[in-house]
Amino acid sequence: MTVKRTLPAAVLTAVVAAMTLLGTSSAGADTPPSSRAEGNAMTEVTRSEVLARARDWVARAVPYSHVRHTDGYRQDCSGFVAMAWRLRDNPSTRTLPARATRIGKDELRAGDVLLWVNPDPTGFGHVRVFDRWADPDRSAYWVYEETPVQAVHREYRWADTAAEYLPYRGNTVVDDPVPGASLSGDARADLVHVRPDGTLLGRLNDNGFTTSPDVPLDSGLPDPARLRFADLSGDGRLDLVHIGEDGTLRVRYNGNGLTTRPWTEEVVVGTRFHDPDRVYFADLSGDGRAELIVLHRDGTLRARSGADRPWIVIGTGFDDPSRVHFADLSGDGRAELVHHEATGDLRARYNGNGLVAAPWTGELVIGNEPDPTRVKFGDLNGDGRADLVLVRADGTLVARYNHKGFTSQPWAGETVVGRGFPDPVRVILT
């Protein structure tokens, strides 16, 4: 799995150069912490920085050693992880779990680790930095590790290592901030109410939608099933896509944010899309521009990034278009697939590979709701992770904020963010 951003080369070079000036020392593999290891024991580090730091040791072919240090970190496997995680000290494989949280296979993401603790208290264990899955079936994966003879980037089969190597997530490893798109352009999801007379009213997200005034965005568009909001230009502002009765996709580009009639031009971007319920837009690639996704009647999901690009099969076996959602749950800039099953379970599939065939690398249940029409997703607080919004029968909008990313039940409590919306079909979270 890859992440959207990496540490800028100039910044990484400066960091490495600064650390290199610190020199080396000799100590045992489980010696007290080196005072020269940079940072603070509780310093947060993004996933992209973890990988960038790991790649740097691989690029420099830092040799394996229990006693030597580079950049203030011991040149063995746990020292390598301490370096990648920017820990202040050099823990051993036996003490590393105190700095991390045990996770499951389906939760593995870039920057997590796979740890083997030797059952012999006098022996050495081993630990590897997880990079990405090598295939959609998650039967193999890539890691960075410090191992004799030197730091390497290497592939392993899950079946060969699963019994001994357990997944852990560093307590100070955080997701990369990925600005999302919204009508206003501030990355916090706004709300659009489609009135029966065809008027589109937008409400700015001002810590919810209870105090903001309605802004007339457009008129003559009474059917919410034919409306989509997606950032097609990559400027951070959502554009309006109308699916015409003749199957034509017309985009009205948003040049002015959440203002009265913010559209600056209208362009035809597709034809022959006669069933609006089967048309979706979501950023699968993580490049800031939404891809077009179509659910065919045979249950196949296909996506493409432009009219001149090929269609890519991203999934199969989806019969009901109302039960298919796309939302960036992990906060890495790439939308996950959420299937609302007949049992009410919201089953999410993690997008670990971007816009490729079957990009999903793990799945888990993130909640249970009986009515798919009342389930909405959108990033309400601008942290890059999609939150869950439920449209209650009394017209109340209840938000469950996503505080944990792509994990089972990532929601933290419930917050009322709006009132007066009894018809869920006419509520669009943008």
**Other beta carbons within 10 Å of 22:** 17
The pLDDT of residue 338: 98
If you ran DSSP here, which 8-state letter would residue 68 be given? B
Residue 428: φ, ψ to 5°? -120, 120
pTM value? 0.66
Note the CATH architecture for domain 191-429.
6 Propeller (2.120)
Q: Which of 428, 326, 299 is nearest to 373 (CA)?
A: 428
Helix axes 9-20, 47-59, angle to 10 degrees: 60
Mean pLDDT in residue range 315-328 = 97
**Residue 292 pLDDT > 50:** yes
Mean pLDDT on 74-99: 95
Contact 327, 406 (CB under 8 A): no
Residue 26 confidence (pLDDT) above 90: no
258-266's contacts with Cβ under 8 Å and 24+ in sequence apart are 258/182, 258/183, 258/184, 258/185, 258/190, 258/202, 258/204, 258/215, 258/217, 259/215, 260/215, 260/216, 260/217, 261/216, 261/217, 261/218, 262/183, 262/217, 262/237, 263/218, 263/239
pLDDT at residue 167 greater than cutoff 80? yes
What mean pLDDT is predicted for residues 404-410?
89
Mean pLDDT of the chain: 88
Residue that wins the pLDDT comparison between 48 and 401:
401
Provide the residue type at 314 as one letter: I
Kindly indicate the confidence band of residue 136, based on its pLDDT and cuts at 50, 70 and 90: low
Per-residue pLDDT tens over the stretch 202-237: 999 999 999 999 999 999 999 999 999 999 998 999
Task: For residue range 311-320, list pLDDT tens digits in order.
Answer: 999 999 999 9
Confidence of residue 29 (pLDDT cuts 50, 70, 90): very low
Given a cut of 60, whether residue 177 has pLDDT beyond it is: yes
Same fold yes or no, 45-174 and 191-429 = no
276 phi/psi in degrees, rounded to 5: -65, -25
| pLDDT tens readout for residues 353-399 | 899 999 998 899 999 999 999 999 999 999 889 999 999 999 999 99
d(CA 87, CA 66): 18
pLDDT of residue 42: 59
Residue with tokens 């600056």: 264
In this prediction, residue 335 has a pLDDT band, given cuts at 50, 70 and 90, of very high
pLDDT at residue 417 above 70?
yes
- Are 350 and 336 contacting, i.e. CB atoms less than 8 angstroms apart? yes
pLDDT greater than 80 at residue 27 = no
**Would you list the domain boundaries of the chain?**
45-174, 191-429
The least confident of 84-98, 169-183, 243-257, 308-322 is 169-183
pLDDT-wise least confident of 17-31, 242-256, 352-366? 17-31
Q: Which fold has domain 45-174?
A: endopeptidase fold (from Nostoc punctiforme) (3.90.1720)
45-46 vs 173-174, strand pairing mode:
parallel
Contacts of 196 (CB under 8 A, 6+ apart): 222, 426
pLDDT (mean) for 304-324: 95
pLDDT value for 174: 87
